[in-house]
């Protein structure tokens, strides 16, 4: 029954919208640059305090990327080539900054400060080559950076929990982390009027930092936790965003409402601000269900996408490829990724690897 339901959903998401005869594969990978579990020592201390860190995927596996994490991914992608000889490509959706924990603490959690993620990298001895590896990946065509946010935390709600002396948040803060579990990570949500100015400033400053860091503007964007509202789209459009990456459902935040509503989009749909939506229709997230045959399920979803004339837009988060906390995690999932890439090339010798902004440009040019 679960298999039939999954097949039905896979077909339904691919029916409406832009179509192409080309076999296009786009890998979209979120959360690069984000500080998550600070270290194995932090993990052990938090576990001793009774937190369920060993049971939650992001707490157990995800951490700021290391030299080895990025180097191994780059090495693997460079092996697999499409019909034109281009290597497999990841759209690396970047979180451009992390909280400056020391400065925030000095304000009594009243004010928020951030630091660029490359400054965070400098705090760790095993991350000193990450920026060079990123630039190598961009030069070789394996990496294409796009914007995911300045930070991956809802500033107002996070600071409020800290001021309220919420032990969960304070213990995480003491380890140099946002939170445990998944608390208030929807950085671009606007729930109250007080959120509007802060979210707008975060997006604007984050996009400036993105351009300063990588040397070009991000044409596409993916909101943290797939949560954003109409006011945020206006900010994106004003900053030159052309394409909106998204999951199967948008969580639409509305000022004055406590919880977001859901809204569905389709690939090629034009927003009220003139941007194009691009919807992920394939999932490759082995960490979330280790007993699932992720290669087979991803290949089935790719086949469905191609059958309906859609690009295969594959969701695959950073935590699948991080090995600093659990080395076997990176080893196992890179092996699965290699198997998937090999099968895609074997089954579809005419396939093409594109980045999100390249796909968006193709959609926009054909729709005009």
Q: Tell me: the pLDDT tens digits for 99-108?
A: 999 999 999 9
Structural fold of domain 2-367: TIM Barrel (3.20.20)
The pLDDT tens digits of the residues spanning 315-333 come to: 999 999 999 999 999 999 9
The tokens of 342 are what?
Answer: 């090999």
Distance CA 133, CA 128 (A): 10
Classify strands 261-263 and 243-246 as parallel, antiparallel or unpaired. Answer: unpaired
Per-residue pLDDT at 1 exceeds 70: no
Of 262-266, 275-279, 362-366, the range with the lowest mean pLDDT is 362-366
Q: Could you report the per-residue pLDDT of 237-270, keeping only the tens digit for each?
A: 999 999 999 999 999 999 999 999 999 999 999 9
As a dihedral over the C-alpha atoms of residue 226, residue 228, residue 233, residue 235, rounded to 10 degrees, the angle is -110
- Once rounded to an integer, what is the mean pLDDT over residues 327-353? 98
pLDDT at 182: 72
pLDDT at 367 > cutoff 60: no
Query: What are the two backbone dihedrals, phi and then psi, of residue 352, each rounded to the nearest 5 degrees?
Result: -130, 140
Residue 290 · residue 60 · CB < 8 Å: no
Quote the pLDDT of residue 2: 62
Please name which of 94, 154, 155, 360 lies closest in space to residue 241, comparing C-alpha atoms: 360
* pLDDT score at 183: 79
Instruction: Say how far apart CA 232 and CA 238 lie, in whole Å.
Output: 10
User: Taking 80 as the threshold, does the pLDDT of residue 39 lie above it?
Assistant: yes
CA dist 300 and 39 (Å) reads 36
pLDDT in tens, 58-91: 999 999 999 999 999 999 999 999 999 999 999 9
pLDDT, one tens digit per residue, over 158-194 is: 999 999 999 999 999 999 998 887 779 999 999 999 9
End-to-end CA distance of the chain: 42
The pLDDT confidence band at residue 92, using thresholds 50, 70 and 90, is very high
């Amino acid at each position: 029954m679960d298999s039939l339901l999954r097949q039905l959903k896979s077909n339904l998401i691919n029916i409406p919208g832009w179509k192409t005869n080309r076999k296009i594969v786009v890998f979209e990978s979120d959360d690069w640059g984000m500080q998550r579990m600070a270290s194995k020592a932090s993990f052990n201390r938090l576990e001793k305090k009774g937190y369920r860190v060993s049971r939650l995927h992001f707490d157990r596996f995800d951490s700021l990327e290391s030299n080895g994490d990025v180097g191994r991914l780059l090495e693997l992608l460079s092996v697999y080539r499409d019909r034109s000889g281009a290597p497999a490509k990841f759209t690396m959706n970047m979180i451009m900054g992390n909280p400056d924990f020391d400065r925030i603490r000095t304000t009594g959690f009243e004010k928020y400060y951030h630091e660029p993620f490359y400054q965070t990298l400098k705090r760790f001895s095993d991350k000193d080559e990450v920026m060079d590896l990123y630039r190598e990946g961009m030069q070789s065509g394996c990496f294409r950076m796009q914007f995911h946010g300045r930070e991956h935390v809802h500033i107002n709600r996070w600071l409020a929990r800290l001021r309220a002396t919420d032990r969960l948040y304070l213990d995480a803060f003491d380890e140099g982390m946002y939170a445990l579990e998944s608390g208030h990570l929807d950085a671009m949500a606007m729930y109250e009027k007080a959120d509007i100015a802060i979210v707008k400033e975060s997006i604007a400053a984050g996009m400036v930092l993105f351009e300063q860091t990588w040397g070009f503007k991000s044409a596409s964007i993916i909101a943290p936790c797939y949560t954003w509202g109409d006011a945020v789209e206006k900010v994106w459009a004003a900053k030159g965003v052309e394409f909106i990456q998204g999951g199967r459902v948008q969580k639409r935040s509305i000022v004055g409402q406590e919880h977001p509503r859901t809204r569905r989009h389709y690939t090629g749909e034009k927003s009220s601000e003139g941007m194009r939506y691009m919807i992920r229709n394939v999932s490759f997230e082995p960490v979330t269900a280790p007993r699932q045959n992720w290669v087979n399920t991803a290949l089935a979803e790719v086949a469905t996408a191609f059958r309906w004339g859609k690009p295969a837009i594959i969701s695959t988060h950073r935590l699948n490829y991080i090995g600093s906390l659990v080395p076997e995690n990176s080893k196992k999932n890179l092996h699965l990724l290699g198997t998937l890439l090999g099968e895609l090339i074997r089954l579809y010798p005419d396939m093409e690897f594109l980045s999100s902004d390249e796909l968006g440009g193709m959609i926009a040019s054909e729709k005009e």
